[in-house]
A = this chain, B = another copy of it.
Amino acid sequence: MNINEVAKAAGLPAKTIRYYEEIGLIRPLRGGNGYRAFRESDMHKLSFIARARGLGFSIEECRKLLALYDDKGRASADVKALAEGHLVQIAEKIRELRAMEATLQGLVHACAGDHRPDCPILTGLADAGDACCA
């Protein structure tokens, strides 16, 4: 399979696939013409990576997941630990975003949003902790 075929199949841009090869996530073969020749196993790995990335795993986490995937003697506990660590990161990000959202919603709610210049959002940013109400 050529790169655009796998790209469509895995739902990844060809550029991204070349990048994944460059950093050693996959190692497709090469044809006599210099083209990358992807095997089924390469395709599976790419789909695997695409889904892991879709769940927010970093490239390095994907690398570890792929290693575990390849290691038939792995302990599922190792995989679970990785996933749970990532879940903690996700939860943390959500908390941060919700805090931002709450603060900003408070400011937005206090703002008339008309032609006048008085703006609690700006004063809130300028004065900190004040003019906010969330």
Which A residues lie at the B interface, using CB under 8 A?
A: 44, 47-48, 51-52, 54-56, 65, 68-69, 71-77, 79-81, 83-84, 86-87, 90-91, 93-94, 97-98, 100-101, 103-105, 107-108, 111-119, 121-122, 124-126, 128
Instruction: Please tell me if the beta carbons of A98 and B94 are within 8 angstroms of each other in the complex.
Output: yes
Residues on the B chain within 8 Å of A48, using CB = 125-126
> Once bound together, how far apart are the Cα atoms of A39 and B56, in whole Å?
43
> Once bound together, how far apart are the Cα atoms of A76 and B40, in whole Å?
57
| A interface: dominant SS | helix
Instruction: Please tell me if the beta carbons of B104 and A90 are within 8 angstroms of each other in the complex.
Output: yes
Show 8 A/B contacts (Cβ-Cβ < 8 Å), sorted by A. A51-B125, A56-B97, A56-B100, A74-B119, A87-B101, A90-B101, A90-B104, A97-B97
